[in-house]
Amino acid sequence: MGYLKLLSSVLLAGSLLTQSAVAAQPLLQQGKKTLFQRVLSTPTCELVERAGASGGKKAVVFSRYYVYQRESVNGKEWLQVGPDTFGKTVGWLASECAVPWNMQMTLAFTNPAGRDPLLFFKDKSTLESLIEADNPATLLEPIRTDLNSGKHNPQVLAQEPAEYIDFQKNFYLLPILQGEEVMNSKGFYERILEVASVSKDDKVLNNTQHPTQGPNTSTASAMTNAQKITGFSAAIVFVIDSSISMDPYINRTREAMKQIYAQIEKENLSEQVKFGLVSFRSNTVATPGLEYTAKMFVDPSTVKDGKDFMNKVADLKQAKVSSKEFNEDAYAGIATALNDIAWNNFGGRYIVLITDAGALDGDNPLSSTGLNAKQLRLEAQHRGVAVYTLHLKTAAGKKNHDEAQKQYVDLAFNNYLNKPLYYPVDAGDVNEFGDKVSSLAKAITSQVQLAYRGELAAGSALTVEDNKEAKTAAEKDDSEIAKDAALLGKAMQLAYLGDVKGTTAPPVFKAWISDKDFVKNTPTAEARVLLTKSQLSDLSDVVKKIAEAANSGLISPSDMFTQLRSVAAAMGQDPNKLKENASVKIADLGLLGEYLDDIPYKSQIASIDEETWKGMSAQEQERFLRGLHQKLRHYQIMNEDNARWISLSEESDSRDFVYPVPLEALP
């Protein structure tokens, strides 16, 4: 009997431990199998020891908490919360003070240069009427007039700051509570989003892992004060192809740099404008005689002056042997410039790619990066770097011109200007090329000079007419590249000014916004999905499985969906979803995580069904497969960059840190 009692006690203890372990998980969201209930704390939230208690510790505003229990006390609901999903709880919050956050997404402002400030509307109906209007400018005019004159407008809670908030350097949380994609009156898609933000002067979580910034700027009526920019500097890094045939362009770049440095030193701007140079070729394993794939010749952070620059590039010459393919590893040059230069030392950040060939795509065995144009563009945006491309359309590369142009238009697309900074040089004309290099460098230098002297005001309209001296400079050089550089220069200055002022998001609690400018249709904000390491890993695993199935489908199209159904079954998906049906989309199989189910974006992968796949040409299928492999490589880069992972609450387990993934990077 004693043995049976002991065994019974052990079994009971084991049962209690099991129940405790199960209870240590947060509550699931309604209708979800993997997503837990989350809330955001607001300025009135206090953490107390038990449900219904008072006098607790004030919760840090906009901390993300997971809900472990719900309990009603005297008709008031209370939430037991924890900073992560691993069983740790830190107290109870009154449900009425917290905001449910089922969709773990946040908003990032685009640079405000060249567009009207984003408006935070009190009601969704006001926003919808603007989107549906044939002439939204007419409806906006009285609103803008009120705001610009310092008056309160009852339809608008606030507008974004005049200066740019650098989301990468100073992460801020503007949570998206709900959203949908709609078509405006002009036939363009945009997103309507409900967002939340903390009230002015409320303390928010701010540490090295989570520099969340609450709005400490004034409201819409007081965001128009011009402020001069001083101490602004710029780095211009040439990423130049040094394969066979490039010597004339290398020499012309050197010549242009010699002239520009002479002017810079004459005007005492040596400390404000720094130049760098990276050279690239191709795979040295395939062709050892190339000597290097990518090499830093001049780092703008360490170069002393023009003489130092010229000495460091004196040995730069074209390769002595031909690469294995006509395309070169241009992306290796871009990646070297992005990764090996301390861009945070500079307010203006520019890369100028110079090449007469296309780039090795990420799926090419000769590629050293495994990335394509889109991924590198996102990496450049992450660092606040603008990428220009001077594409030398020489006779030797005629067959390659169209494909290379597509690559470089994608790589050089600039969100500030809403256009690609891509400039072809017809027939590879050396003189035309030299003029473009000189125009670009001079335009950027001119912008830095004016900004350093405090002659460009933040928040001014992004046109060269706003400054007499800038207008004169534009009249002297009316080229497209000079105009774009002038416009982009002001955008860079807004970013710099926002950084030095510590500009943060506007003081709104709940409001409705559109992610497109109503009149110009340019992006005003970009959504980010906040994924944990586990979620990013799961997403990567699923994309890999889809890629493997797609690879089989290249041989036998029906095999692709047969394999995907097997994968879905192994993941425990609903058998009803897996029935043989050629119209069932990948999204319907439940392969992609639940965290992507309800977000307002269109997935390229999710919309494909068996009929669509079979109807795609071999080239389209191969392009689809290449895209998957390149996304996988990008997820790997995200995962390995520890500096990008952010804690959303104090004492959170590092496994629940998040990475703000752009929608464009999703499958």
Q: Domains of the chain: which residue ranges?
A: 27-100, 105-223+506-523, 234-438, 531-648+656-665
Strands (E), 317-430: 348-355, 386-393, 413-414, 419-420, 422-426
pLDDT digits (tens, 9 = 90+) for 170-229: 677 788 888 888 888 888 888 899 988 754 344 433 332 332 333 333 333 222 233 344
What are the strands, taking DSSP E only, across 132-272? Answer: 156-159, 175-183, 189-196, 234-241
Nearest to 101 by CA among 648, 667, 666: 648
Asked if residue 190 lies in contact with residue 118, where contact means CB atoms within 8 angstroms, the answer is: no
Indicate the SS3 state at residue 334. Answer: helix
- Residue 155 makes CB contacts below 8 A (sequence gap 6+) with 121, 122, 123, 126, 143
Rounded CA separation 326/391 (Å): 14
Pairing assessment for the beta strands 348-355 and 386-393 based on DSSP bridges: parallel
Quickly list DSSP for 622-651. Answer: HHHHHHHHHHHHHHHHHHH-GGG-B-SSTT
Tokens of 471: 């207008």
| Alpha carbons 54 and 663: distance in angstroms, whole number | 42
Could you give the angle at which helices 468-476 and 430-452 cross, rounded to 10 degrees?
170
pLDDT tens digits along 487-508: 777 666 656 555 555 555 444 3
Tokens of 355: 């090449």
The answer to whether 469 and 450 are in contact (CB under 8 A) is yes
C-alpha 68: how far from chain center: 32
Report whether 599 contacts 607 (CB < 8 A).
Answer: no
Under 8 Å between Cβ of 602 and 577: no
Q: How far apart are the first and last CA of the chain?
A: 62
Token output for 230: 């001083």
Nearest to 277 by CA among 395, 115, 441, 145: 441
Maximum C-alpha span of the chain: 103
Q: What dotted CATH number matches 27-100?
A: 2.30.30
pTM: 0.71
- Domain 234-438: give its CATH code: 3.40.50.410
Q: Using the 8-state DSSP alphabet, how is residue 65 labeled?
A: E
pLDDT profile of the chain (667 residues), mean per 10: 45 45 78 89 89 89 92 94 94 92 85 82 91 91 87 84 69 83 86 74 36 32 35 86 94 89 85 92 96 96 93 95 95 96 88 94 93 93 89 90 95 85 89 89 78 46 38 53 74 59 55 89 87 89 86 74 76 60 68 76 78 84 87 90 86 90 86
